Amino acid sequence: MITTRAPLRIPLGGGGTDLPSYYRDHGGFILSAGIDKYVYIQLNTLKVESFIRVKYAETERVEEPSQIQHPLLRESLLHTGIESGLEIGAMSDVPGRTGLGSSGSFTVALLAALREHTRQPLARQQLAEEAFHVEAVRAGQPSGKHDHYLAAFGGLTCLEIDTQGVVTVSTLQMSLHDIEELRNNMVLFYTGITRESFDILSQQEADTRAGTSEVVDSLHEVKELGLQIKAALQLGQLDRFGELLHSHWETKKRRSAKVSNAKIDAWYDLARRHGALGGKLMGAGGGGFLMFYCPAADRKQLREAMATEGLPEMSFHFDDEGAKVLMNA
């Protein structure tokens, strides 16, 4: 029995510039944080049976990987050349389709388990690249490199992506005191709205390739704001981060009408009236989790306002381990 896990993530700056349609012409920059909410994979070798059984929201039993309906499970098995005699189960601390990068974390945890099974463990960067290849190339999903790298590395992490797609990974340089204050000032609320990022990301890819000025200019601005956020955090200017986060969200909304809606805008405005300096929806937008930056003096009134709206808070810590094999027995 092999058990692996990979963390989910909270994007802090530069989101969307990790998609090939953008970074191939302009280079990308992402600042993001792995958190202590995980996707888990359990893999068991069948002793006498030769079929494959996979369990996620549904259960499939097939004779060969090509028959699996779940695209990431199917393509991961085909990619690694594993043909039979396995049982694979997936679990997550948080619902999928909520903007925390669960499909990337799923693919990273799955490949970590499969590579452990074949005794071919990968270094973190290789694992991230392999997961990106499976999801974006083999499964044909509109995906950037952000989610896979954060799932593999965890931590408060910067990704610089050159026009060839080569990613340079570095750790955000902050004092332990500032890291803890940053975490305390970041509050995460669940909207209860799940959504597929496919449509939003597919449209962004198409608009970027077409050179649609509003979309490309928005991505340029988001990348610049991401670099400003990095600088502010490394200088310990945490409230400045909150202010830049607000600018980041306003810029991102220009990218697509599907990023937000009237209900989300109302919650965001309410949070701003109750002490949040800035915030954003996680992931591509449209639903999932709302994250706000709120100094200590106003956090109580912010929480009360969100509770009145029926939005539960999810507490978290930062994860600094990344993808991990928990058991191989």
The sign of the CA dihedral 172, 249, 15, 26 is negative
Q: Is the pLDDT of residue 272 over 80?
A: yes
Residue-wise pLDDT tens digits, 296-320: 999 999 999 999 999 999 999 999 9
pLDDT of residue 210: 65
Q: Which pair of tokens denotes residue 122?
A: 């990968």
- Mean pLDDT value across residues 9-17: 95
Contact 52, 62 (CB under 8 A): yes
Closest CA to 10 of 229, 177, 162: 229
Q: Is the pLDDT of residue 27 over 90?
A: yes
Residue-wise pLDDT tens digits, 108-166: 999 999 999 999 999 999 999 999 999 999 999 989 999 999 999 999 999 999 999 99
Q: Which pair of tokens denotes residue 66?
A: 């090509």
Dist CA 7 CA 126 (whole Å): 17
Tell me how far the alpha carbon of residue 98 is from its chain's centroid.
10
Q: Map tokens 């993808």 to a residue.
A: 323
Q: Which pair of tokens denotes residue 151?
A: 């799932």
Residue-wise pLDDT tens digits, 197-255: 556 666 766 667 766 778 899 999 999 999 999 999 999 999 999 999 999 999 988 87
Helix, strand, coil fractions of the chain, as percent rounded to 5: 45, 25, 35
- Mean pLDDT value across residues 172-180: 98
Side-chain half-sphere of 233: how many Cα atoms within 13 Å? 30
- Mean pLDDT value across residues 17-46: 97
Dist CA 53 CA 50 (whole Å): 10
Q: Is the pLDDT of residue 91 over 80?
A: yes
Length of the chain: 329
| Residue ranges of domains in the chain, CATH in brackets | 2-172+319-328 (3.30.230.10), 176-308 (3.30.70.890)
Q: What is the DSSP letter of 133?
A: I
Q: How far is CA 264 from each of CA 118, 172, 189, 240, rounded to the nearest angstrom?
A: 45, 30, 12, 23
Q: Is the pLDDT of residue 176 over 90?
A: yes
Q: Which pair of tokens denotes residue 236?
A: 């310990």
pLDDT of residue 291: 97
Tell me how far the alpha carbon of residue 183 is from its chain's centroid.
17
Dist CA 116 CA 300 (whole Å): 45
pLDDT of residue 253: 85
pLDDT of residue 290: 96
Summary mean pLDDT of the chain: 94
Side-chain half-sphere of 311: how many Cα atoms within 13 Å? 26
Dist CA 186 CA 54 (whole Å): 36
pLDDT of residue 196: 61
pLDDT of residue 254: 81
Closest CA to 100 of 188, 223, 205: 188
Q: Is the pLDDT of residue 168 over 70?
A: yes
Q: Which residues of 162-195 are buried (b: 16+ CB within 10 A; e: fewer)?
A: eeeeebebeebebeeebbebbbebbbbbbbebeb
Using CA atoms of 111, 117, 121, 124 in order, give the dihedral in degrees to the nearest 10.
30
Q: Is the pLDDT of residue 286 over 90?
A: no
Dist CA 92 CA 102 (whole Å): 8
Q: Which pair of tokens denotes residue 23?
A: 């970074």
Task: Kindly state the percentage of the chain with pLDDT values over 70.
Answer: 95
